[in-house]
Structure 1
Amino acid sequence: MDRWAAADYTQTVLVGADYSGLTDYISTETYHQHNPEAADGLDGFGAAAAKWAEQGRNLVYNKVHKVVAEGEFVLLQSEGEFGVPVAYYDLFRVADGKIVEHWDVITAVPAELPHGNGLF
């Protein structure tokens, strides 16, 4: 997997909700999660996602708007829901063909913007 496959991961797994190939994209040996609500590793991510679902905050990705890649890093801007409409900003580090590190910002989409440029 090259760095652009992180975009494929987002489209297939997150937008498409097809988790069958999760380990094709994310390292089963090293996966550092920098979200303070999720522990490292796939088990940590799975536990956090289950907790969020219990709270009515399912991770729903509707559309990927932007992909920027430089070296081993890929930044994606996506639109979805996390209990409310949100913008997702996911930064992935890819090594040895797999996603090995993840940072994210999840921010609510305001009802009105102070400008006409749109959020995405």
Structure 2
Amino acid sequence: MEGQFDKISEYITPGTTHYIQHSPFITDGVEGLQAAIEHMAEQGVTMEYKKNHKVLGEGNFVLSVSEGEFAGNHVAYYDLLRLEDNKIVEHWGAIETIPPESEWKNSNGKFGF
């Protein structure tokens, strides 16, 4: 959305019963997501998706595998979404720091598929 949070209702229906968040740090509902994003911004924590490596979908589930920065760290994002009526209704996510390539134990990294 490139920081255009007023467009979030195009992707998630407002209301706590329409969006289930599986993060222990974010409450359900688009309002909980917006509050978490605002809190991160107030703390100076940035979250940026820079490259989408893979999108897989089956039925009403979509997995997005991306690369970016979180709080100044180079990270991998894995976002699993469940959709209903073309809107996101459920989200599971994982963020993992990617070490410098000199510290890798193999040559394929997070995105060597």
TM-score (norm 2): 0.84
Partner in structure 2 of residue 10 of structure 1? none
Q: Is the 8 A contact 1:57 1:82 kept in 2?
A: yes
CA contact (8 A) 2:67 2:77 kept: yes
Q: Please tell me the residue identity of whatever aligns with 2:105.
A: P
Counting aligned pairs with the same residue, the percent is: 47
TM-score under structure 1 normalisation? 0.80
What residue number does 1:36 align with? Answer: 24
* Alignment partners' CA distance in 2, 1:19 and 1:50: 10
Structure in which a larger fraction of residues adopt strand: 2
Larger helix proportion of the pair: 1
Which aligned runs of 4 or more in structure 1 are off by greater than 6 angstroms?
none
State the shift of 1:58 in Å: 1.5
The structure with more radius of gyration: 2
Q: How many corresponding residue pairs? A: 106
Q: Is the 8 A contact 1:49 1:58 kept in 2?
A: no
- State which of 48, 57, 69 in structure 2 corresponds to 1:81: 69
RMSD over aligned CA atoms reads: 1.5
Report 1 or 2 for greater relative contact order, CA contacts < 8 Å, sequence distance ≥ 6. 1
Q: Which runs of 5+ in 2 are unaligned?
A: none
After TM superposition, the structure 1 = structure 2 runs for residues 18-29 of structure 1, keeping only pairs within 5 Å, are: 18-29=4-15
The residue aligned with 1:7 is none
**Superposed, which structure 2 residues align to 1:30-109 within 5 Å?**
30-83=18-71, 84-109=73-98
